[in-house]
Amino acid sequence: MSVKITFPDGGSREYEEKVTIAEVAKSISHKLAKNALGGEVDGAVRDLNTVLDHDVTLKILTWEDEAGQRIFRHSSSHLLAEAVQNLFPDTKFGIGPAIKDGFYYDFDSSHVFSEDDFPAIEKEMARIAKEGRPFMKSVISRAEALQYFADRGESYKVELINDLPADAEISTYQQGGFLDLCAGPHLPSTEKIKAFKLMSIAGAYWRGDEKNKMLQRVYATSFPKQAQLDEYLALLEEAKKRDHRRIGQELGLFTVMDEGPGFPFFLPNGMILRNELENYWRELHQKAGYAEIRTPLILNRSLWEQSGHWDHYKDNMYFTKIDDVDFAVKPMNCPGAILVYKNSLHSYRELPIRMGEMGLVHRHEKSGALHGLMRVRCFTQDDAHIFMLESQIKDEIKSVIKLIDEVYRLFGFEYHLELSTKPEDAMGSDEIWEAATDALRNAMDEEGLSYQVNEGDGAFYGPKIDFHLKDCLGRTWQCGTIQLDFQMPEKFDITYIGEDGEKHRPVMIHRVAFGSIERFIGILTEHFAGAFPTWLAPVQVRLMSITDHQLPYIEKICAAMKAQGIRAEVDGRNEKIGYKIRESHAMRIPYALVAGDKEMENGTISLRRHGQGDLGVRDVNELTAEIVAEIKERK
């Protein structure tokens, strides 16, 4: 019986008899066979040696596919586990999944792992990989699996087996002397794993539960080629240099103190940067027809019960009592915006109503998850809520997409879009969710935008479009979002008076552009390595004299620049000019201006641009006009 294989491009091939995925790849090209890591059969990811004995759709997975990278790195985690088993035989094994940019394995061992162990483990991994040990899958009964792992004292595997559904297929994979409980898929053998590196060690509670034992988690990464690993490690080194926490301290932007873990303190330079971002946000939104509002930080428990946050988000909220009544610190701004809308009657003629808010919210994050400005417990969302007619949904979504695009283009960010659909804990009917999801999908389709579908990751009250920024190191950050909501208007009974004189229900959009001001500042700091565009820089111009003789001259220039809105300062210290120039460069100040006797006599200034070096002598008035224009245009 022949087997028809249909490929993602619509093409197909017929084979006279059953065939493996590897054989299909080889029949297409030698190069594809060499690069193949697995296959996606009718949407399910499988090993290369999977036999295809009926008509299927097939995508050959390579390193270019995320699913292919997961296969490669999951196999690498088994390689790590075998090496650890060989070197530290009393070790018990937890889990070893692939993660973004790498993998890890959790170990329970009498040996306390340290980075000093890494060279020996990597050497053993290299030995095993070179031998090309095949990954062999076996499907066994629950009783066999329990017996095997119980006999070897692998209590964590026994627990995992007991938690599997009664009808679940139980499989193991073995390479060499290491056998693991695993659903796969895996590489054909260890020989494809050419480059790997152990990265770090951390403690991890078994299954993420603080009541369970703390295991030792070894993080690592792997690549098909050494050059790819070298490039990745170089990017990590560059990322360390750009770490916003270090740069934030150096430039006096922000700090986090023991008295407020997860609650950042913004310093004077950081407030300048923050205020410039907020000023830009207000200008942009005023032009786009948004009215700014401000809602309270603490609101009654009944509001959060009505909104659904009490049932769906309570574990992430902070609470207090006022006059023996329960209140909650707001984790989101939307219920407050709804109360503002309800404060007065509205006609269909007013819609859409666009409300923007720089709203401070608080969310409980575990201490281990906190990270500078990227993961905090209080942050300001550049929220906006749009109340509209159903007929206005598509146009409003398009306009929001264009607004967010304008924001990201200003900073030079590329981005991609993801459409997140109905989650398990969603409120509302399937019909409403389908209508809302289709509205988002249609708006993106009509704008000709490409996007990925992220199944089940919508908010509990509606589907959303997420904007994932790509920084100069190729890292992605989820910032902007557009959430379409049919639920909150229903729960809060908000209405407008229609053309027929009757009450009707509006639809809501929740959206952010920056996402979180704090996080966006962290991203910008790393993206620009602290060398912000002139309009954002806390100090835009630093003027320096070679001797005290030129000090009155540069002070006069500084005063004139300040009068035109330039953030300028004088470095009049009794230091050598080379030292002052180097310090200005270390502070990433865009313009360093130097005056000696010659400049003072000619009414000029010597110009140094950060990142460009010495640009020669310039007329003071012309240069001032250029800087003013650069700031005004937000270049």
**What is the per-residue pLDDT across 96-144, written as a single tens digit (0 to 9) for each?**
999 989 999 999 999 999 999 999 999 999 999 999 999 999 999 999 9
The predicted model gives 319-325 an average pLDDT of 93
* d(C-alpha 314, C-alpha 331), whole Å: 9
Q: Which residues, 6+ apart, have CB-to-CB distance to 520 below 8 Å?
A: 277, 479, 514
Helices then strands, each counted (H, E), the chain: 20, 35
3 state DSSP class of 506: coil
What is the pLDDT at residue 473? 83
Burial pattern 161-188, b for ≥16 Cβ within 10 A else e, equals: beeeeeeeebebbbbbebbbbbebbbbb
Instruction: Give every CB contact of residue 352 below 8 A, 6+ residues apart in sequence.
Output: 386, 387, 388, 389, 392, 396
Annotated catalytic residue: which of 74, 363, 377, 527?
Answer: 363
Buried b (16+ CB within 10 A) or exposed e, 368-384: eeeebbbbbbbbbbbbb
What 3-state class would DSSP assign to 567? Answer: coil
pLDDT of 62 > 80? The answer is yes
Is pLDDT at 425 greater than 80 in this prediction? no
Cis peptide before 97 (omega within 30 of 0): no
Q: Dump pLDDT digits (tens) for 469-519.
A: 988 888 888 899 999 888 889 889 999 999 999 999 999 999 999 999 999
Instruction: List CB contacts of 590: < 8 A, sequence separation 6 or more.
Output: 531, 532, 533, 534, 537, 540, 541, 609, 610
pLDDT band at 23 (very low <50, low <70, confident <90, very high): very high
Distance CA 503, CA 497 (A): 5
Q: Is 375 an annotated catalytic residue?
A: no
Q: What is the pLDDT of residue 310?
A: 86
pLDDT at 347: 96
Amino acid present at 29: S
- Please give the C-alpha separations between residue 594 and each of 60, 532, 542, 546, in angstroms, as whole numbers: 61, 21, 9, 7
Is a pLDDT exceeding 80 seen at residue 396? yes
Q: Which of 383, 466, 471, 571 is catalytic?
A: 383
Q: What phi and psi values does residue 112 have, to the nearest 5 degrees?
A: -90, 110
Output the DSSP codes for 294-337: ---SEEEHHHHHHHTHHHHSGGG-EEEEETTEEEEE-S-SHHHH
CA–CA separation, 483 and 48 (whole Å): 40
- What tokens appear for 274 in the block? 């923050």
What Å distances lie between residue 439 and 67, 197, 397, 436, 457, CA to CA?
29, 45, 9, 5, 17
* CA distance between the termini of the chain: 66
Percent of the chain with pLDDT over 90: 84
Question: How much is the pLDDT for 369?
Answer: 83
pLDDT band at 346 (very low <50, low <70, confident <90, very high): very high
- Contact by Cβ (8 Å): 388, 352: yes
502-541 burial code (b ≥16 CB/10 A, e <16): eeeebbbbbbbbbbbbbbbbbbbbbbbbbbbbbbbbbbbb
378 is catalytic: no
Cα gap 505→390, rounded to integer Å? 9
pLDDT of residue 427: 76
Half-sphere exposure of 521 (CA within 13 A, CB side): 33
Q: Is 377 a catalytic residue?
A: no
- The whole-number average pLDDT for the span 573-596 is 94
Provide the 3-class DSSP secondary structure of residue 292: strand
pLDDT band of 169, cuts 50, 70, 90: very high
Q: Would you call the peptide bond into 352 cis, given omega within 30 degrees of 0 as the criterion?
A: yes
Is 78 among the catalytic positions? Answer: no
Contact 508, 536 (CB under 8 A): no
Sorted by sequence, the CB contacts under 8 Å of residue 123 that are 6+ apart come out as none
Sequence-distant (6+) residues with CB within 8 A of 455 are: 421
Q: For position 474, what pLDDT does the model report?
A: 84
pLDDT at 607 over 90: yes
Active-site option among 330, 385, 511, 588? 385
Q: What confidence tens digit (pLDDT) does each residue in 76-89 have?
A: 999 999 999 999 99
Q: Does residue 211 sit in helix, strand or coil?
A: coil
545-567 burial, b for 16+ CB within 10 Å, e for fewer? bbeeebbebbeebbeebeeeebb
Cα–Cα distance, 36 to 62 (Å, whole number): 5
Is-catalytic flag, 540?
no
CA 306, CA 293: separation in Å to the nearest integer? Answer: 21
Select which of 69, 175, 216, 381 is catalytic.
Answer: 381
Joined together, the tokens standing for residue 415 give 């981005």
Res 208: pLDDT: 87
**What φ, ψ does residue 34 adopt, rounded to 5°?**
-70, -40
Predicted local confidence at residue 314, as pLDDT: 84
Q: Which of 217, 354, 362, 464 is catalytic?
A: 464
* DSSP β-ladder status, 451-454 and 414-420: parallel
Count of beta carbons in the 10 Å neighbourhood of residue 634: 14
Ordered DSSP codes for 8-41: TTS-EEEESS-EEHHHHHHHH-HHHHHH--EEEE
Is pLDDT at 258 greater than 80 in this prediction? yes
DSSP state of 290: P
Catalytic: 610? Answer: no
Contacts of 563 (CB under 8 A, 6+ apart): none
Q: Element (H or E) spanning 613, and its range?
A: strand 613-619
Among 46, 69, 197, 334, which one carries the catalytic annotation? 334
Name which of 220, 33, 196 is nearest 130 in CA terms.
196
Give the residue among 266, 270, 265, 274 at the shortest CA–CA distance from 251. Answer: 270
Q: Are 181 and 170 in contact (CB under 8 A)?
A: yes
Side-chain-side CA neighbours of residue 519 (13 Å): 23
Marked catalytic residue, from 510, 542, 567, 588: 510
Q: What DSSP line would sit under 344-387, residue for residue?
A: S--BGGG-SEEEEEEEEEE----GGG-BTTTB-SEEEEEEEEEE
